[in-house]
Structure 1
Amino acid sequence: MTSEQNAQGTFVSEKISKIRWQHEPFSETKTFLTGSWDNPYNKITYWTFQTNEDDESYPVVVTSFSVCGDVTELQFISKDFFVASSSEGTVKILQIQSDPYSQFKEHITWKNIHRFSTEETAPCTAFSTFEQDIVSVGEDGRINLLTAQQKEVVRTIDNADSCSLCSVDFLRHNEILTGNNRGHMKIWDLRNDQQKPVSFMLSDQTTMMPILTG
């Protein structure tokens, strides 16, 4: 960064949990999303940059969307569509519309898909996307496979872990990697009908151990 470049900011009276840039093919992006947490009322906010009289750029709010619970993750699946999860165990697909003015449109809501055995809602701690497919994990140790093409949950793996799952990622279209809060990682083959991972490892191990499913 040269001495002529300055960082610009805007004060926000809320705690920010996530920030994601909007995809802008073939051009420099100037818009992004933020999600808040631990506030009386949380929200997803859409931002853009404006330039003042001194030719300085600074972020300004375009529109916002109220969320029950904390925003735990945000990810774009296309230029205008993104996925959001919350501590209330819910996952949503929303669209950023610009006609006639910028606003959020809710397309699909998978409500309370993470919940404890007591039926209390469990936080959705993370999710990952692969094109139109979404896989979510939560404090209930459950894995949910979703798709932007239908409102029903495609598949649920109950009791995928005995403790909270805190991360998930697609390795390829049919395989995912999950991690729990004890440092255990598991690989799951989504083509497999069994409710068991194909391999697992500890955080201090360098080789995977296959799961024998006789």
Structure 2
Amino acid sequence: MDSINAKYVSQKISKTRWRPVSSASLQQPEFFATGSWDNEENKVSLWTIGDHGVINMDDDFEGDPQLLCDIKHSGDVLDLQFLDSDRLVTASSSGAVTIYRHHPNSQTLSVAHQWDRAHHYPCDNAPCTGVVCNSPEVVSVGEDGRIILFRADQTGVLRIIENADSSTIHAVTFLRTAEVLTVNSIGQLKLWDLRQQSNEPAQILSLTGDRVPLHCLDRHPNQQHIVATGGQDGMLCIWDVRQGNMPFSLMEAHSAEMWEVHFHPSNPDHLFTCSEDGSLLHWETSSSSDTPSFLQGGRNTSMVSRSAIAPAGGNQSIISAWLSGDSGKGQLETTHMLPSQTLSVNSLDVLSQCLVCGTDGEAVYVSRQVPV
């Protein structure tokens, strides 16, 4: 893709996240954080693309991201989320959940609080595989099948759902203020109501047939019943949690594990996925597209979509294009966003027109001109 910058950072990047900007402001994001894995010493780092980048005559972004500060991280960074503009939360392979604070005056990062061994087995640590924030609340999940609810302003633990899953929980996101969704290693999507004292999920949805592990999920920012997941087989699944217990549609996306899926936060007709196969895809739905379905180049040329269940009855005059089930009619286009890659693209984040992703090739890629 044009105007995409590669920054080599001498560490394998497991997670990348933009620092949030005020929804009221029209400014582009300038700061992002990264977490590393599989290095001798892992780090959490904060970068800027602000004053150090310039736009040339052709409106292309020039200038590498600049490192502002970093801090050592114990274990692999398995997830990374901003709690607010000054604090971020990590999930560690050591089982710890850690809140870091950025000090802009000194450009340093410090540990604000850590829940050591939040996730564990009876006699060993269990990796914390995912965190999600809705300040001041933080929810973590782990290989031990636990779901833990914290508050950033309290040192204790608010709630633990023991044995929430008999298999590894790979990722978690908020559906609504008191509801979270999790995905696990046997192809299940589970809905949890944190207001209920029960340790049972409020709803279980699952892939049919083979129990393919699901690795990632994201919910539509406007229509919260629409959820996208990706898993070990590289398939993109779209779910409607209001009805049925199977995915609404399945689309061949990647030739290896899909690591992350993200709806664009303000233009959710656009969705982004990244994979072990080294690719980063931009998906766009269009109800009135004259272009061929799955307009793309590169490796992934055979793509299918099949509707798993019929739309619900009733007034469907306002229905998301993701649930239209008509991707074969030119309503879904995909575009490769990276130059030919060989190593895994582990993480991506998109905000406004800016996209960042991190790879096992020890590179971070940044674009400030995502066509959304």
Q: TM-score, normalised by structure 1?
A: 0.87
Aligned to 2:136: 132
Aligned to 2:78: 72
Deviation of residue 203 (structure 1)? 2.3
Specify whether residues 29 and 162 from structure 1 end up closer, same or farther in structure 2 by C-alpha distance, changes over 3 A only: same
Give the secondary-structure state (helix, strand or coil) at the position aligned to 1:78.
coil
Partner deviation per Cα, 1:125-175 (whole Å, 9 max, x = no partner): 111122311111000001101111201111111111111011111111221
CA contact (8 A) 2:87 2:101 kept: yes
- Find out whether 1:87 has 2:124 as its counterpart: no
Give the secondary-structure state (helix, strand or coil) at the position aligned to 2:149.
strand
| CA RMSD across the alignment | 2.1
Deviation of residue 33 (structure 1)? 0.6
- The separation in 2 between residues aligned to 1:51 and 1:202, in whole angstroms, is 45
- The separation in 1 between residues aligned to 2:206 and 2:144, in whole angstroms, is 20
1:15-30 superposed matches below 5 A: 15-25=12-22, 26=25, 27-30=27-30
- Find out whether 1:169 has 2:173 as its counterpart: yes
Deviation of residue 29 (structure 1)? 1.9
Give the secondary-structure state (helix, strand or coil) at the position aligned to 1:186.
strand
Bigger relative contact order, structure 1 or 2 (CA pairs below 8 A, ≥6 apart): 2
- The separation in 2 between residues aligned to 1:194 and 1:6, in whole angstroms, is 50
- Find out whether 1:200 has 2:204 as its counterpart: yes
- The separation in 2 between residues aligned to 1:139 and 1:181, in whole angstroms, is 10
- The separation in 2 between residues aligned to 1:103 and 1:122, in whole angstroms, is 29
CA contact (8 A) 2:44 2:71 kept: yes
Give the secondary-structure state (helix, strand or coil) at the position aligned to 1:58.
coil
Give the secondary-structure state (helix, strand or coil) at the position aligned to 1:10.
strand
* Count of residue pairs brought into register by the alignment: 203
User: Moved runs in structure 1, 4+ residues, more than 3 A?
Assistant: none
CA contact (8 A) 2:135 2:152 kept: no
- One of 118, 131, 135 as aligned partner of 1:113: 118
Q: TM-score, normalised by structure 2?
A: 0.52
Identity %: 37
Instruction: Please say which of residues 38-47 and 184-193 is displaced more in the overlay.
Output: 184-193
Aligned to 2:3: 6
Give the secondary-structure state (helix, strand or coil) at the position aligned to 1:9.
strand
> Residue 101 of structure 2 aligns to which amino acid in structure 1?
Q
Aligned to 2:163: 159
> Residue 165 of structure 1 aligns to which amino acid in structure 2?
I
Partner deviation per Cα, 1:76-135 (whole Å, 9 max, x = no partner): 121111111111111111111112x200122111110100133x1111111112231111
Partner deviation per Cα, 1:3-44 (whole Å, 9 max, x = no partner): xx6333221211000111112332222211110000110001
> Residue 41 of structure 1 aligns to which amino acid in structure 2?
E
